[in-house]
Amino acid sequence: MRHLLSTEDLSRSNAIRILDTAEEMAAVGEREVKKLPTLRGRTVVNLFFEDSTRTRISFEAAAKRLSADVINFAAKGSSVSKGESLKDTAQTLSAMGADAVVIRHWASGAPHRLAATDWIDAAVINAGDGTHEHPTQALLDAFTMRRHWSKLAGTPSAGADLTGMRVAIAGDVLHSRVARSNVWLLRTLGAEVTLVAPPTLLPIGVEKWPCSVSYDLDETLARGVDAMMMLRVQGERMNASFFPTTREYSRRWGFDDNRLRALDSLGLKDTIIMHPGPMNRGLEISSAAADSPRSTVLAQVRNGVSIRMAALYLLLSGDTREPAHQANSTHSTPAEHTSALVTKESH
């Protein structure tokens, strides 16, 4: 493996490999000493051009549990805020010997740029780019769903996928990197996905995505859902005519107490409620739903560390880098740099 940039072209075998590795990492997290020596002497840089304390500390914990050295580079208050370019920042980190760069950026595609150029020769992990993708979030969501789905089936998680699982994702799909990464990964793992949103918050072109689309949350629930994922509504959408008022949004597309009760009346006793956080309680999700036994919000956070350990482990340990890529990737073709998780087998 070379980079983890997106789930769009993450193969099923690589996705399962990450999920299975994360299961092993989760076992480490349950030991008294939660640390492996695997990445001792390796340097992981958390390069954050956008504030995200949750994602950063999750990656930091993951890297530290693998004994890597961690450098946190927040763009705010650094040279980046003084106008330094992504290229110069990347070259600086390269000169300091970064082995992996975990990048969070407000611009869609910024991790692809790092991976496709010769600015830095390090493994690149996308920790969320603009409104494009957030692959480790989707992986931790899938990990959480797979545990639930396997438990219901009474079979082990390892090696399993999500065939037959009905997943609904509701909220601001248009601006959501979490929704995009989930749609691609869940498709790959065999789940049936329904996006639920006001038409204003769905992208033009969504009809080509491998999922169903609905404007009606109640109807979607009535058809049966095994996992209900609510997306955060960003504050800046609230005054841009995407919907009339937050109250109307909440009534039509929020997971409120009525819909929580509806799960019971619909006989959906095993349906879980997911949210990538941070939550707007009372807007897209009610407190009762967020705190109910169905909620996996905290399990998702916990599983996030395991997924990120697995990603770092698979990208940085062992002799899996391809010499051709390592030598010089200046003029890599689109086909090369769009392949999300390049492995020897896939070439």
Residue 344: phi, psi to the nearest 5? -60, -40
Rounded CA separation 15/2 (Å): 14
Q: Could you say whether residue 82 binds other proteins (CB under 8 A)?
A: no
Q: Could you say whether residue 284 binds other proteins (CB under 8 A)?
A: no
Rounded CA separation 216/236 (Å): 23
Q: Could you say whether residue 48 binds other proteins (CB under 8 A)?
A: no
Q: Could you say whether residue 78 binds other proteins (CB under 8 A)?
A: no
Q: Could you say whether residue 209 binds other proteins (CB under 8 A)?
A: yes
CA-nearest of 274, 29, 27 to 144 is 274
Burial of 95 (0-12, 13-18, 19+ CB in 10 A): exposed
DSSP three-state, residue 201? helix
Rounded CA separation 195/164 (Å): 16
Pull the structure tokens for residue 127: 């920790």
Stretch that binds other proteins, among 58-66, 67-75, 76-84, 112-120 (CB under 8 A): 112-120
Q: Which of 1, 10, 101, 116 binds other proteins (CB under 8 A)?
A: 116
Closer to other proteins by Cβ: residue 91 or 150? 91
CB of 191 to other proteins, least distance (A): 19
CB of 208 to other proteins, least distance (A): 5
Rounded CA separation 320/45 (Å): 20
CB of 241 to other proteins, least distance (A): 11
DSSP three-state, residue 4? strand
CB of 35 to other proteins, least distance (A): 35
Q: Could you say whether residue 3 binds other proteins (CB under 8 A)?
A: no
Q: Which residues bind other proteins (CB under 8 A)?
A: 8, 85-87, 105-110, 112-113, 116-117, 129-133, 177, 180, 203-206, 208-209, 331, 334, 337-338
